[in-house]
Amino acid sequence: MQYRKLGHTDLEVSLIGLGTMTWGEQNSEAEAHQQLDFALEQGVTLVDTAEMYPVPPKAETQGRTESYIGSWLAKTKRRHDIILASKVTGPSDKPQRPKHIRDGHTRLDRKNLTAALESSLKRLQTDYLDLYQLHWPDRNTNIFGDMVYPWAGEPDTVPIEETLAVLQDFIRQGKVRHIGVSNETPWGVAKFLQHAETSQLPRIACIQNAYNLLNRQYETGLSEFSHREKIGLLAYSPLAMGILSGKYLASARPEGSRLTVFGRFTRYSNPQVDAIAADYIALAREYDMKPAQMALAWVNQRPFVNSNLIGATSLAQLQENIASVHLTISPELEAAIDQLHARQPNPAP
């Protein structure tokens, strides 16, 4: 395993991080524990979860993922062997965003942040989180694949400075070590950094955004923050919901797969994605690489990536995904990848 510093902090995280959003829906508690055991054997230290998980978010399963991690921690007593990260749910005022958590009161204010953190710590059976992230912005902006900026008012938005002040108290209380954002924009990252500097508030260490061969938007507006401000990327959906593994080629929908079970995932469903994904998969095979491993190895080599968050529903998938850390994308292969990207850039933003 390789390790990288988390943003500006002294905390080292594994280059491959363990995503958990299937635990409690597609994976049982026993399977979640098996994945944790195996991942740690391979040197994985970063475990990423969220109060909203598993996905798709439902009232009857909400928090189950954190509970599975908590029961593993209670059983194994290995809290100090992992870097534990969770996320607080953002506002629920748009379609497909969960409205069952705290009865839809999920603004990033003191009351809701406190309730969220205390509940997560209880489910996780721990006294602290190594990293606490804001799952998505409190304000109205274009995220989750929205291409058009919403020119709409938002009188109830919680100011970023107010949210940071609450997170500062969590750090002082010893309940959170570091903080981060997720599904953020360049404007948002700039404002978090501005308030940290001008108001002596905690500085975000990282941003968790989608990043893969079909969605390289991070490179355009956010990667410079990684370079100049040491805001590391925790890359989620590095296989584009499995599209880049090849299992959905020619509109295939294998039984039990994520896109088969959950119709809500439409971010990677369009003709442009299907066509260029087939080209990436063919390119991997041309270079005698498994398509999933090529896609993951490419993410691993990006200098702004602190950790590549993989998710798997089987130990075989997990083993293949973790093994990507040992692969290298040659300059020739990288050039070929860039040629495909230039032909069809970001078909799944």
List of residues 6+ apart from 117 with CB closer than 8 A: 88, 129, 132, 170, 175, 176
d(CA 344, CA 338): 10
Indicate left, alpha or beta for 223 from its phi (over 0: left) and psi (-120 to 50: alpha): alpha
Q: Which is catalytic among the residues 53, 211, 218, 268?
A: 53
8 Å CB contact between 241 and 217: no
d(CA 296, CA 292): 6
Nearest to 20 by CA among 84, 80, 76, 79: 84
Give which of 245, 176, 240 is closest to 214, Cα–Cα. 240
Q: Are 31 and 64 in contact (CB under 8 A)?
A: no
Catalytic annotation present for 53: yes
Catalytic residues: 53
